[in-house]
Structure 1
Amino acid sequence: MKLSVIITTYNSEEWLRKVFIGYSIQTDSDFEIVVADDGSTFKTKELIDSFSSKFKNPIVHVWHEDDGFQKPSILNKAILASQSDYLLFTDGDCIPRKDFVATHLKHKEEGYFLSGGYFKLPMSISEKITEQDILTQNCFSISWLKKQGLAFNFKLTKLTHNKWLATFMNWITPTKRSWNGHNSSGFKKDILAVNGFNEAMKYGGLDRELGERMFNNGMLSKQIRYSAICLHLDHKRSYATQESIAKNKAIRSFNKKNKITWIPDGIYKKASP
């Protein structure tokens, strides 16, 4: 397989179903899906089983018991379960445009990870999107979104189908080329080299912290936020606390200052390689 798509989820079957539909019509189908499930009920497994026949390769369901927000831990388990040497990370609330996988494969390069973004939808439109809207790709149409009540704003340029404009916008955007959990990809060996995600962290910047350690390890990144498009469906974040965000900021600050690459509380529980 050319690529493994690692999708995080937690008790969000309605959104995950829409995401699966998006992956079922990708222009490049030579990939596997690894669901990093942070303790969902049996309903998520039922949904996965119902979609298994729609993909060229099987969907791998990596699950652990619900013990609060444990995203770094389930992501590390999903990394080990993946069968490809190139990994694309996203979330179970991000519908991919049909060229999403192909775009990541087109831009992958040794020594780099790819930094993508998303177009965030309000709850009203998130709920309106049907299976047919995804299959026809209407939900990625600016005119369709405006008909659903979306106000015009500059961020709509993210949905451009003009490859030249997308390339230009990737070049001029002031947004940092960070590792974003909803839309980033890289070689598995480069992620393993920094021991994966930091399990000492909760919600708030844990994805970027991985990218910062990869930078410390000599990696570079490329901006593809206007080329690799996904729609972010709205949802609540009851797991977001000021305490966890503050703790994560302190960890990131320490790692930046001290050029940390390897963390002991990652995929492998040891102090150094």
Structure 2
Amino acid sequence: MRPKSVSLIVTTYNWPKALELVLLSIKTQSVLPNEVIIADDGSKQETRELIARYQKSFPIPLIHSWQEDLGFRLARSRNLAIAKSESDYIIMIDGDMILHRHFIRDHKLIAKPNYFVQGRRVILSELFTQMLFENNKTKISLFNTGVQNKLNAISCRLLAPIATKFLSKNDYSSVRGCNMAYWRNDVISINGYNEDFVGWGREDSEFVVRLLNNHIIRQDLRFGGVAYHLYHHENSRHNLDDNDQLLKLAVKNSVHNCEHGLNQYLIKNKQSEVIND
């Protein structure tokens, strides 16, 4: 069973220059998602203005989900966006990932019930990233000198399902939330992302631990769903020790759910619908 509808969620924080390239790459998809939701962790006016400008001509609904800037709260930002989504399948990317033109098509083709998908990323050099910004360019080839891990840049519709079947690993190692997909109902069943995670790191791994504990199987998408990661300096990791402990507890206790997650926003949305009726 393939998804009937797809929500593409794009996380962002105060980097409108990168977000614009992402939006341009979405517009040129061979298969468009049904909606795009920008999960904004408190960006300033420049990002708001960019999204408003693109909303006027975007080929599909472009929704801006914003929260107040109270520090790095990626988990909450994602939950808010998921609660706003109206599709049965969700693809989550970071706001610095330029998408190959078949990105959405590839994810839809590999999707199946009781599975989630871990995509890969293509690393771009600092110099090549700067060139993309200067030229407002999103067309990238694996033959470009700024493409550093070229194997991840190969897109082949015939190879993708075969490689994915034999190269997937059903654990939480090497998890990256910058390119991931899952069924909306599966996310609801584990209460979404754990908002006890603040600051950078490990929220994706703990999220995957709970999916696995709920018997949702991992697929590693190879030779498809290609996304190019714009160069940037690493985020601050001052909260990493605390987040590591949360992850270890989830693994040790075989956690299936989290207390502070998605459900609170689904309840609010449902209450709002009742009041409006």
> What's the TM-score bracket when you normalise by the shorter of the two chains?
0.7 to 0.9
**C-alpha separation in 1, matches of 2:110 and 2:142:** 25
The answer for the alignment partner of 1:55 in structure 2 is 58
Matching residue within 218, 221, 226 for 1:224 = 221
Residue 87 of structure 1 aligns to a residue whose secondary structure is strand
Q: What TM-score does the superposition give when structure 1 sets the normalisation length? A: 0.87
Within-5 A mapping of 1:107-146: 107-129=110-132, 133-134=137-138, 137=139, 139=140, 141-143=141-143, 145-146=144-145
Q: CA deviation at 1:247?
A: 1.4
| Alpha-carbon spacing, 1:110–1:169, altered in 2? closer, same or farther (3 Å) | closer
| Preserved contact between residue 170 and residue 218 of structure 2 (Cα < 8 Å) | no
Q: What TM-score does the superposition give when structure 2 sets the normalisation length? A: 0.86
| Preserved contact between residue 213 and residue 254 of structure 2 (Cα < 8 Å) | yes
The answer for the alignment partner of 2:92 in structure 1 is 89
The answer for the alignment partner of 1:254 in structure 2 is 249
Task: Supply the AA of the counterpart residue of 2:187.
Answer: I
| Preserved contact between residue 155 and residue 223 of structure 2 (Cα < 8 Å) | no
| Preserved contact between residue 160 and residue 166 of structure 1 (Cα < 8 Å) | no
**C-alpha separation in 2, matches of 1:175 and 1:121:** 25
**C-alpha separation in 1, matches of 2:168 and 2:218:** 14
**C-alpha separation in 2, matches of 1:91 and 1:172:** 27
| Preserved contact between residue 94 and residue 177 of structure 2 (Cα < 8 Å) | yes
Within-5 A mapping of 1:1-273: 2-129=5-132, 133-134=137-138, 137=139, 139=140, 141-143=141-143, 145-146=144-145, 155-167=149-161, 169-170=163-164, 173=167, 178=172, 179-202=175-198, 203-241=200-238, 244-268=239-263
**C-alpha separation in 2, matches of 1:85 and 1:180:** 22
Residue 142 of structure 1 aligns to a residue whose secondary structure is coil
Consecutive unaligned residues in structure 2, runs of 5 or more: 265-277
Residue 234 of structure 1 aligns to a residue whose secondary structure is coil
**C-alpha separation in 2, matches of 1:196 and 1:23:** 25
| Alpha-carbon spacing, 1:247–1:216, altered in 2? closer, same or farther (3 Å) | same
| Preserved contact between residue 16 and residue 46 of structure 2 (Cα < 8 Å) | yes
**C-alpha separation in 2, matches of 1:199 and 1:163:** 37
Runs ≥4 residues deviating over 3 A = 130-133, 161-179
**C-alpha separation in 1, matches of 2:222 and 2:178:** 11
Q: CA deviation at 1:85?
A: 1.4
Task: Supply the AA of the counterpart residue of 2:228.
Answer: L
| Alpha-carbon spacing, 1:174–1:37, altered in 2? closer, same or farther (3 Å) | same
| Alpha-carbon spacing, 1:261–1:62, altered in 2? closer, same or farther (3 Å) | same
Question: Could you tell me the percent identity over the aligned residues?
Answer: 26
| Alpha-carbon spacing, 1:250–1:123, altered in 2? closer, same or farther (3 Å) | same
What root-mean-square deviation, in Å, do the aligned CA atoms of Structure 1 and Structure 2 show?
2.0
| Preserved contact between residue 30 and residue 56 of structure 1 (Cα < 8 Å) | no
**C-alpha separation in 1, matches of 2:31 and 2:159:** 23
Residue by residue over 1:102-141, the C-alpha shift from the partner in whole angstroms, topping out at 9 and shown as x without a partner, is 111111111000110101112211111156642xx3x1x1
Residue 4 of structure 1 aligns to a residue whose secondary structure is strand
